[in-house]
Amino acid sequence: MKAVVALGGNAIVGKERKASIEEQFYATKSSMAGIVKMIENGWDIVITHGNGPQVGAILLQQKFAKDIIPPMPLHVCVSLSQGQIGYMIQQCLANELKKKAIKKNVATVITQVMVNKNDEAFKNPTKPIGPIYGKEEAEQMKKNYIMGKYGDGYRILVPSPEPISIVESGIIKQIIEDGGIAIAAGGGGIPVVAENGMLVGIDAVIDKDLASEKLASQINADALLILTDVEYVYLNYGRSDEEKIEEATLKEMEKYYMEGNFPAGSMGPKIKAAIRFLKNGGKEAIITSIEKAWDAVNKKAGTHIYK
């Protein structure tokens, strides 16, 4: 079985999004347990991951150092975050595999993702990145960034265009077919557009789950496993009448989605990705917590969506 496993950003930095590199390494190592069990049991794996907290931090580093070193644009910051997080996952996974005496090559593929330069998202930035700021700090940052309300605070908002295709899908598929493990499409991939037949980076952050679906479809994965901070998808989440979804058909999930059950800034993109994956030929989409990854694969936890 071939699966794309999408790790949520909170898996590495926590909800406060201000973890030190030591804390990020520890969290990354902890998130590998379920993935290693999948590999141990014969699954072919591609790992994707979020980068909202990290790319936001890198962007701020550019801002504060601009008088010393020329700042890098957002699409380059996305590539930097791919290298940073890919390195952590690559090292932690390789170490865990070594403990199990599993001989597998692990490689991070710096991944570009085609988008449409005329995508409406460029006119309406909605993707939150970086840490959460207080009201006073956010007011100061409005001089340089678009800020949006996020929980009890504020975060930087950037464009989030739709992914069209994964540029490096061929080599990622080849790594899997050769028995390796690929870490790819990190942070939704580096957004690029075509200009006169050439690839050019563009400033945006693509939704990680939608890019993961695009990759899963292009490499003909059997399953899309989306790992987040809740064990199940819920209807009426956080209300007294909330109801967990253990199994649902594609048709049922489409109905729930169209009824507005899943917020755009939370579960919405994950459900959208699951729906697209199944429509594009995937066999199963699973959404669960990182801690329950292996249980979910064995149908003992998580929300399972089928055709």
- Catalogue the active-site residues: 9-10, 127, 208, 270
Contacts of 137 (CB under 8 A, 6+ apart): 154
User: Which residue intervals of 31-113 are DSSP H helices?
Assistant: 33-40, 52-64, 74-99
**Token pair of 145 as six digits:** 């960034």
Contacts of 158 (CB under 8 A, 6+ apart): 74, 125, 127, 129, 146, 203, 204, 205
Angle, helix 74-99 to helix 21-30, in steps of 10 degrees: 50
| CA-closest candidate to residue 30, choices 51, 52, 13 | 13
Q: Are 305 and 248 in contact (CB under 8 A)?
A: yes
User: One-letter amino acid identity for 263?
Assistant: P
What b/e readout covers 36-55, taking b as 16+ CB neighbours within 10 angstroms? bbbbeeebbbbbbbbbbbbb
Count the neighbouring beta carbons within 10 Å of the beta carbon of residue 258.
Answer: 8
